Copies of this chain bind each other. A is one copy, B any other.
Amino acid sequence: MRQGRLFVFSGPSGVGKGTICRELVKDPSLRLSVSMTTRTPREGEQEGISYFFVTREQFQKTVEENGLLEHAEIYGNCYGTPRKAVMDSLRAGFDVILEIEMQGALQVKRSFPEAILVFVLPPSLEVLRQRLSGRGTETEEQMRNRLSSSLEEIRLIKDYDYFVINDDLAAAVADAMGIIKAERLKVAGSSEEIISRYEEENKCFFTHQ
Once the chains bind, are B121 and A154 in contact (CB under 8 Å)? no
The residues of B that contact A187 with a CB separation of less than 8 Å are 119, 157-158, 160-163
Q: Which residue of B lies closest to A124 (CB)?
A: B201
The residues of B that contact A27 with a CB separation of less than 8 Å are none
Q: Does A155 contact B (CB under 8 A)?
A: yes
Q: Which residue of B lies closest to A158 (CB)?
A: B191
Q: Which residue of B lies closest to A195 (CB)?
A: B155
**A142-180 near B? 1/0 per residue, CB < 8 Å:** 000000000100110110111110000000001101110
* Number of A residues with CB within 8 Å of any CB on chain B: 36
- State in angstroms the CA–CA spacing of A155 and B198 once bound together: 9
Q: Which residue of B lies closest to A177 (CB)?
A: B178
Once the chains bind, are A185 and B191 in contact (CB under 8 Å)? no
Q: Does A125 contact B (CB under 8 A)?
A: yes
The residues of B that contact A194 with a CB separation of less than 8 Å are 121, 154, 157, 163
Interface residue SS majority, chain A: helix
Query: Copies of this chain, how many?
Result: 2
The residues of B that contact A124 with a CB separation of less than 8 Å are 198, 201
Q: Check A185/B163 contact, CB under 8 A, given A121-B194, A178-B178, A191-B157.
A: yes
Q: Does A138 contact B (CB under 8 A)?
A: no
The residues of B that contact A154 with a CB separation of less than 8 Å are 194-195, 198
Q: Check A186/B198 contact, CB under 8 A, given A178-B177, A178-B181, A205-B125.
A: no
Once the chains bind, are A164 and B185 in contact (CB under 8 Å)? yes
Given contacts A121-B194, A158-B187, 7 further A-B contacts (CB under 8 A): A125-B201, A125-B202, A126-B201, A157-B195, A162-B186, A163-B190, A175-B181
